[in-house]
Amino acid sequence: MPSLKAIKKRISSVTNMKKITKAMNLVAASKLQKAKGRLDNVRPMYSDIKDLMERIRAGISDDMDIPFAEEREVKNAAYIVLTSDRGLCGAYNALISKEAFAYVDGQNKKGIDEKIIAVGTKGRDYFRRRGKNIILRCEGPSEATSFTDAEALGHKVAEMYKSGEVDEVYIIYTHFESVLSHIPYIEKLLPLRTASSEDFDPGAHTMSYDPDPITFLEHAVPMYLNITIFGAMTESAVCEYASRMTSMDSATKNASDIVDDLTLEFNRKRQGIITQEITEIVSGANALQ
């Protein structure tokens, strides 16, 4: 049985931990509000650019020589995996890392080698422990998402695809549905999906290009990559803060329950000691009579 001093010390320790988790909960809640506001501003932009690219894709047939729509035998694939730089955010990192690993491993079994771009130290450590090929490690964007970071990654994967270093490009991130619902997404960025020669209907998607479709797409696709990556980064940041907020809130409640249980144990033990002392005093008094 622990002594009163040991119980009191543990109560003090758990109370201090509760203060820390409460503070972290408040910080995460504040960051979540800011990130959610930014996501609300970004979502319409990258939704519109995705819709535009879908219309453009529908108007690209196989006989058009579009560099970013070139279908070739897939031997190498690049995967941009978005995780956080810090822990204490529940199952956020574990869920997206496991989803990414399962997909990459499945592609490996088909003979496709991976080239992983790990955004966030947690994902980097996860794949490094499992012996996967990490070609680029990015730290910091999960805490301070900026379009510059997305632009750098977009330029990197575009050059890798055009040079033939990779034959496909994917981005794996966590999509924000609500504070309690975060869904791992795997999205194929390159090559662009094209309409088959039989299904291609230029009349259904009449678009004019200046100066020509190939030149237009050489400029439009990098912009599409940058905005899509930035949108995924923003989604992931919101999911990270939401997961950390709920995790710290749960930790704070658990700490309160532990303190309540320890306080009850402390009071019972102290009452037992007091009762024993009174009994000894009464017994001694009776013995003297």
Are the beta carbons of 46 and 227 closer than 8 angstroms? yes
Q: In angstroms, rounded to a whole number, what is the distance separating the alpha carbons of residues 235 and 221?
A: 21
> Does 89 participate in catalysis according to the annotation?
yes
- 203 Cβ partners below 8 Å, 6+ apart? none
Residue 257 near residue 18, CB atoms below 8 Å: no
Token pair 């981005």: residue: 171
The string over 239-273, giving b where at least 16 C-beta atoms fall within 10 Å of a residue's C-beta and e elsewhere, is: bbbbbbbbbbbebbeebeebbeebeebbeeeeeee
Q: Catalytic residue, from 32, 89, 150, 157: name it.
A: 89
Amino acid at 203: G
Residues with Cβ within 8 Å of 17's Cβ and at least 6 positions away in sequence, in order, are 255
Which positions are catalytic?
89
